Amino acid sequence: MKKIIAANWKLNKTPNEARSFFESFHKLLTPLKSSNEVVFFPSSIALEATQQMLKGSTVKFGAQNIYSKASGAFTGETSAEMVKSLGGNYALVGHSERRQIFGETDAICAEKVKFLIDLNMTPLLCIGETLEQRNLNQTKAVCEKQIKEGLSKVTGPEANAKVVIAYEPVWAIGTGVVATDEQVKEAHLQIFNYLNTLGFTSVPLLYGGSVKADSAKELSQIAHVDGFLVGGASLEPGSFSQIIANS
């Protein structure tokens, strides 16, 4: 089955740095002949450079964050329409850094998911527990709440095949600690089952958190792991193309 391999560049790469990344990346990707869907999330300021560099390729891109209004007096924000006007068709929603640092709530996520779906764009909704929540055995409850509330403004028929979920345990993000195969297997099965009970029967489920080429190889064998959301290892063309090849 085709996997989705997504690069979250976070607050990294100027437009020129994005251009030189893609120059190298194209050379590495072409011989791979991978059928996986590849998506880049550059910073907003590098979206246009990304669009220019991806012209004519099947690689997709989107924004790390959008505001759930088309336009208006919202200083500092980027609208989904603006991203779409450049040809971007994805946006991250509810990444743990946005939840923790910028106070993004489940209610805000729900607005953004709805807004993107109405524009025929793909929200990549990020969920996952903190270490403290895992130690308190709250992983399942936390993920289910984030899914239930984040998808509360869309229905299964609307969102199936449009929404993507990324399970990213917060303790595994940027720490070099990857969740074990067992932990990923358990969480993905629970999330898959829960999505089904809500009527979301064809929502791809990505894993994120310190994914590297080696771990991608192992994790992609696990049931209900439909791809990866990659931070640190997506900043280098070599390591990211290796993850695509191994998935």
Active site residues: 95, 168
Reported for 100-107, long-range contacts at CB under 8 A and 24+ positions apart, including other chains, are 100/170, 106/145, 106/146, 106/149, 106/150, 107/149
Q: How far is the CB of 28 from ligand PGA (least distance, A)?
A: 19
88 versus 208: smaller Cβ distance to ligand PGA: 208
Q: Which helix (H) or strand (E) holds 25?
A: helix 15-32
Neighbours of 198 (CB within 10 A): 16
Q: What is the helix (H) or strand (E) element at residue 8, kind and residue range?
A: strand 4-8
State the amino acid at position 65 in one-letter form.
Answer: N
**Which residues make up the interface to ligand PGA (CB under 6 A)?**
8, 168, 173-174, 208-211, 229-233
Least distance from ligand PGA to the Cβ atom of residue 155, Å: 27
Q: Which is nearer to ligand PGA, 156 or 174 (CB)?
A: 174
Helix (H), strand (E) at residue 241:
helix 237-246
Smallest distance from the beta carbon of 228 to ligand PGA, in angstroms?
8
Q: Which is nearer to ligand PGA, 115 or 207 (CB)?
A: 207
Q: How far is the CB of 13 from ligand PGA (least distance, A)?
A: 14
Closer of 96 and 153 to ligand PGA (Cβ): 96
C-alpha to C-alpha distance for 227 and 208, rounded to whole angstroms: 9
> Which residues partner with 63 through β-bridges?
91
Q: Which is nearer to ligand PGA, 10 or 153 (CB)?
A: 10
Which residue, chain included where needed, has tokens 């590495």? 28
Query: C-beta of 73: minimal distance to ligand PGA in Å?
Result: 31
Minimum Å distance from CB 50 to ligand PGA?
17
Q: Which helix (H) or strand (E) is 207 found in, with range?
A: strand 205-208
Q: Which residue is nearest to ligand PGA (CB)?
A: 231
* CA neighbor of 215 nearest in space, from 205, 224, 225: 225
Q: Which two tokens stand for residue 232?
A: 């640190």
The C-alpha atoms of residue 107 and residue 7 are separated, in whole angstroms, by: 25
Nearer to ligand PGA, 108 or 170 (CB): 170
- Asked if 79 and 113 count as a contact pair (C-beta separation under 8 A), the reply is no
